[in-house]
Chains A and B, each alone.
Chain A
Amino acid sequence: MSVLVYTEHAEGKFKKSSFEVVSYGAAIAQQLGTNLVALSIGNVSSDELNKLAQYGASKILSVSEDAYKSFVNQAYGAVIAQAAQKEGANVVVLSASFSGKGLAPRVAVKLNAAYVDGAVSLPDTTNGFMVRKGAFSGKAFADVSISSENKVIALMPNAYKVVENSQNPNVEAFTPVAGSNDFATMIKEIVRASDKVSLPDAELVVSAGRGMKGPENWGMIEELAQLLGAATACSKPVSDAHWRPHSEHVGQTGIAVSPNLYIAIGISGAIQHLAGVSSSKVIVVINKDPEAPFFKAADYGIVGDAFEVVPQLISAIKEFKAVNA
């Protein structure tokens, strides 16, 4: 028995969500009295692989065959299932990232495992195996009791803190067996906006709505975000009007986020939007309408015109940074 985590990387560097997954997997392994194995697929240096040991992986499997250099959903799913079988792992954890969400169900089918997507805390193993996840798009939580021997869990980004738990690095090469149809798809191109903070796993988010009056006014939103190292986001009417891309739409039919700080500017706070931000730790609302429903779901608020408040906020943060640098 063991716990297996799949650790995703981007161009050879592990993401923060991968260290979250390792920390989470290590805690489950401890609960079950077993050890944690981390799996990496693709080209990752041994220094980078060793980092996984810092967070509790007592063994690190690395698949470095050329065929697996870039992400192929079906092929990677097969590798994860094979690694689980090899290690006798009956709990497999992935990040509920865009790729993780596609992979995990395939792994679950291969292992005859129940699968819980979007876990928000450690499983309760006192009486069976129960995992808490978000439901109704942020409007609720559901506790899922699993009856199958094998379990696959996808962990929400930002839901579990990275914990140092140093182990001796023990990296082992792993050679999977490819299935007949594993490599049917091919990546033609990867487009990354490298200067931008990725929204789903961002710790700070600056979000704006129709109160900004038009796409030409987003300069100050981007400036504020850049200053804070935050991702930019928007409400549904804004992305529907094509002022901002759909990938920035936060809410029930967009992306659900759980940052430490969510700053909502000129967003009234419709129930669909609130659903997508309910897991944020701290919410700040800036709106000129004191009756905006968002104030009821906020921790801090300023009643004022975004066009006056945001520039002031930018200079206040610059001043703060100058003092605290």
Chain B
Amino acid sequence: MKILVCISNVPDTTTKINFTDDHKSFVSNGVTFIINPYDEIALTRALEISEANAGSTVTVIHVGDASAEPTIRKALAIGATDAVRINANARDAFFVASQIANYAKEQGFDLILTGRESIDYNGAQVASMIGELLNIPSISIVKSLTLDGTTVTLEREIEGGKEVISCPLPLVASASEGMAEPRIAGMRGIMSARTKTLAVIEPSDVPALQTITNYDKPAPRSQVKLVNVDDVKGLVTLLNQEAKVI
């Protein structure tokens, strides 16, 4: 099995998000970056599958500049076989998906995994776009993925339930919580990651279709109205008459 895992380099979940005064860009000074949590789930599942199928490899790919290399090394420390960085500013999801699809076309992977979305731009686009660009199936927001020979059984989240899908390889899937429990890199992993291959490839030319021109933070809520613990009925009245939500 040749597995490709796409990883994104995102602000840690505890980050307080700030923008420049002109609202045009995210302030990354002092922000800790991590592997996108959903991508980490995808990586872990890829490693589990690889361990159960002798001779398998897990390649991680990232589209971005050199500042992401600590995150890529971390993926290698967790257990990926090797890594590729497409040396480009990730302008939009189509750009990223095109770079990954071009690489995958050359190399030929059986299984391509991503996270369900990145926790920074929340695009949830790359998996389906890669599938479309390679003309192979893509299944999004997958909470369970098992392999039996060349057939994959996936459980996909749907509103109020789940869908169980059977699919041949090759396939792209985007991982949601439940697909695997993320692993922590051990000391041996961290040591061996230093010597694993991290190839840097120049991007192919892809036009940008969109740009973010403005960022805002949600308006703060007005002061909380506290209801006395002895007056729970009063809360129901407020929700009905003032907030008009029940």
Chain A's nearest CB lies how many Å from the CB of B42? 13
Bound CA–CA A285/B19 (angstroms): 29
Instruction: Return chain B residues, CB-CB under 8 Å to A147.
Output: 208-211
Count of chain A residues with a beta carbon within 8 Å of a chain B beta carbon: 101
State whether A186 and B226 are in contact (beta carbons under 8 Å apart), knowing that A73-B137, A98-B141 are contacts in the complex.
no
Binds B, one of A34-42, A85-93, A309-317: A309-317
Inter-subunit contact A104/B128 (CB<8 Å): yes
Inter-subunit contact B227/A302 (CB<8 Å): yes
Bound CA–CA A145/B208 (angstroms): 11
Instruction: Return chain A residues, CB-CB under 8 Å to B157.
Output: 98, 247
Instruction: Return chain B residues, CB-CB under 8 Å to A65.
Output: none
Q: What is the predominant secondary structure among interface residues of chain B facing chain A? A: mixed
Within 8 Å of chain B (Cβ to Cβ): is A48?
no
Binds B, one of A162-170, A213-221, A249-257: A249-257
Most chain A C-beta atoms within 10 Å of own C-beta, residue among B14, B117, B119, B213: B119
Inter-subunit contact A142/B215 (CB<8 Å): yes
Within 8 Å of chain A (Cβ to Cβ): is B161?
yes
Cβ-closest chain B residue relative to A274: B218
What 0/1 readout, one digit per residue, does chain A (42-84) give for beta carbons within 8 Å of chain B? 0000000000000000000000000000010110010000000
Cβ-closest chain B residue relative to A308: B229
Inter-subunit contact B246/A186 (CB<8 Å): no
Binds A, one of B49-57, B67-75, B188-196, B236-244: B236-244
Q: Which residue of B131, B176, B216, B240 contacts A246 across the interface (Cβ within 8 Å)? A: B176
Q: Which of A192-226 contact B (CB under 8 A)?
A: 192-194, 196-201, 204
Within 8 Å of chain A (Cβ to Cβ): is B105?
no
Q: Which of B98-136 contact A (CB under 8 A)?
A: 116-117, 119-129, 131-133, 135-136
Chain A's nearest CB lies how many Å from the CB of B174? 8
Within 8 Å of chain A (Cβ to Cβ): is B160?
yes
Inter-subunit contact B16/A271 (CB<8 Å): yes
Inter-subunit contact B167/A184 (CB<8 Å): yes
State whether A108 and B94 are in contact (beta carbons under 8 Å apart), knowing that A141-B215, A186-B167, A253-B119 are contacts in the complex.
yes
State whether A283 and B221 are in contact (beta carbons under 8 Å apart), knowing that A105-B128, A142-B214, A144-B211 are contacts in the complex.
yes
Inter-subunit contact A302/B229 (CB<8 Å): yes
Chain B's nearest CB lies how many Å from the CB of A76? 11
Inter-subunit contact A136/B229 (CB<8 Å): no
Q: Which residue of A103, A117, A308 contacts B122 across the interface (Cβ within 8 Å)? A: A117
State whether A15 and B120 are in contact (beta carbons under 8 Å apart), knowing that A104-B128, A184-B168, A299-B224 are contacts in the complex.
no
Chain A's nearest CB lies how many Å from the CB of B197? 30
A: which residues have CB within 8 A of B? 10, 15, 71, 73-74, 77, 97-99, 101-106, 108-110, 113-118, 130, 133-148, 179-181, 184-194, 196-201, 204, 228, 239, 246-247, 249, 252-254, 256, 260-261, 271-272, 278-279, 281-285, 295-304, 308-309, 312-313, 316-317, 319-320, 324
Q: Can you list 17 A-B contacts (CB < 8 A)?
A: A74-B137, A97-B159, A98-B140, A103-B128, A104-B128, A115-B125, A117-B122, A136-B119, A136-B120, A140-B19, A140-B215, A142-B121, A190-B164, A199-B160, A246-B178, A261-B239, A313-B232
